[in-house]
Amino acid sequence: MFLILRRGFATHSSLLCTSEKIVVPPLKMKINKSKVPKIREKDLEEKYITGWGPGGQAVNKTLNAVYLRHVPSGVWIKCHESRSLDRNRKTARKMLIEKLDLKINGEDSVQRQEERLASHKRNLKREKTRLKYEERRKEKETDQENSSNKEDNLEYIPEDNVKK
């Protein structure tokens, strides 16, 4: 599926130009995960703390929340996504990796790349919709011009001049 843009609206570097329109090839942007930091278990400080939130006394008394700190960078996470300690440990590690990636890589982090990709897709979709309605408007104007031209070609002949 190709997206067709009018001249002046395209900013993509590898565009194919036709006489009136610019054709954008399908988006093949991939997320680079090569810079995602790897964490070692010896660099982590892990504590189990009591939970919080809905669930009442059962949640508030059990040690099912996880406090995870990456000692070299000082980044920390508290996780209490579920009542299960094992699930919370796995989730906390994923969250810590995402937070470290964002801190270390900034705009090159996986999260920012995904946001840019989603934004780019949204913009392409908006442009496609705008072009669709612009095309419909032009077709409607053309149809109105054609119908008005037909009316202009009709000549009014008074009834007394009509041949019988």
The pLDDT score that the predictor gives to residue 156 is 63
The pLDDT score that the predictor gives to residue 151 is 65
Q: CA nearest 47: which of 92, 84, 81, 82? A: 92
Q: Which residues of the chain have pLDDT under 70?
A: 1-28, 150-158, 160-164
The pLDDT score that the predictor gives to residue 17 is 44
The pLDDT score that the predictor gives to residue 18 is 43
The pLDDT score that the predictor gives to residue 78 is 95
Please write the tens of the pLDDT for every residue from 130-159.
999 999 999 999 888 888 776 666 666 667
The pLDDT score that the predictor gives to residue 85 is 93
